[in-house]
């Protein structure tokens, strides 16, 4: 048996983050590919990626370009065509009847303020991320602190070697 981290085997946080990056490959957003997974009791209970709701237009089919293309990240979120990965993962959890209370979320990007509000309400215990994301509201860190939800940056260097191993076959 291999222990986590032994013989090139990713530990559980790296494994969850690799799955988040795999989910991001499904993104239909035209400006940023984001993915996430929700993990409770060491099991993935939901995945999400940023994109338009199922059974609706693909962003390329809209009559005018999405404001996210060339816009300011984190600004005017209500005007964007795609739902965020975190919101989609929470919706998937609800759809399947899987409680997120006490779960952790692994996101390719630090969640925006709107997603943070949803994550707090859904009972998420901790947030893990690789890339930052702007907080134009200035509220994200305050809300997370008040709710007692820690954020943990995972270095790309912890993920990348495992992806390279996969690429080699």
Catalytic residue of the set 60, 61, 86, 114: 86
Distances (CA, A) of 99 to 38, 86, 104: 10, 15, 12
Element containing residue 38 per DSSP (H, E): strand 35-40
- Give burial (CB, 10 Å; 0-12/13-18/19+) of 70: exposed
The tokens for 81 are 């065509």
User: Do the Cβ atoms of 113 and 133 come closer than 8 Å?
Assistant: no
User: Do the Cβ atoms of 109 and 129 come closer than 8 Å?
Assistant: yes
Angle (deg, nearest 10), helices 113-121 and 140-147: 10
86 is catalytic: yes
- Residue owning tokens 């816009």: 71
The tokens for 101 are 């209370």
Angle (deg, nearest 10), helices 12-24 and 156-168: 70
Kindly list the catalytic residues: 86
């Amino acid at each position: 048996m291999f222990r986590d981290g032994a013989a090139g085997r990713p530990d559980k946080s790296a494994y969850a983050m690799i799955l988040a990056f795999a989910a991001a490959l499904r993104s239909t957003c035209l400006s940023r590919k984001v993915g996430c997974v929700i993990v409770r009791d060491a099991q993935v209970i939901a995945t999400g990626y940023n994109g338009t709701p199922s059974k609706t237009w693909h962003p390329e089919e809209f009559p005018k370009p999405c404001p996210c293309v060339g816009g300011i990240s984190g600004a005017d979120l209500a005007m964007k065509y795609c739902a965020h990965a975190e919101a989609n993962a929470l919706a998937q959890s609800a759809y399947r009847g899987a409680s997120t209370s006490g779960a952790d979320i692994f996101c390719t990007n630090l969640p925006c303020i709107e997603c943070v509000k949803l994550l707090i309400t859904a009972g998420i215990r901790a947030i893990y991320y690789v890339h930052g994301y702007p907080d134009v509201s200035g509220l994200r860190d305050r809300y997370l602190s008040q709710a007692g939800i820690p954020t943990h940056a995972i270095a790309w260097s912890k993920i990348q070697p495992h992806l390279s191993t996969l690429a080699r076959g």
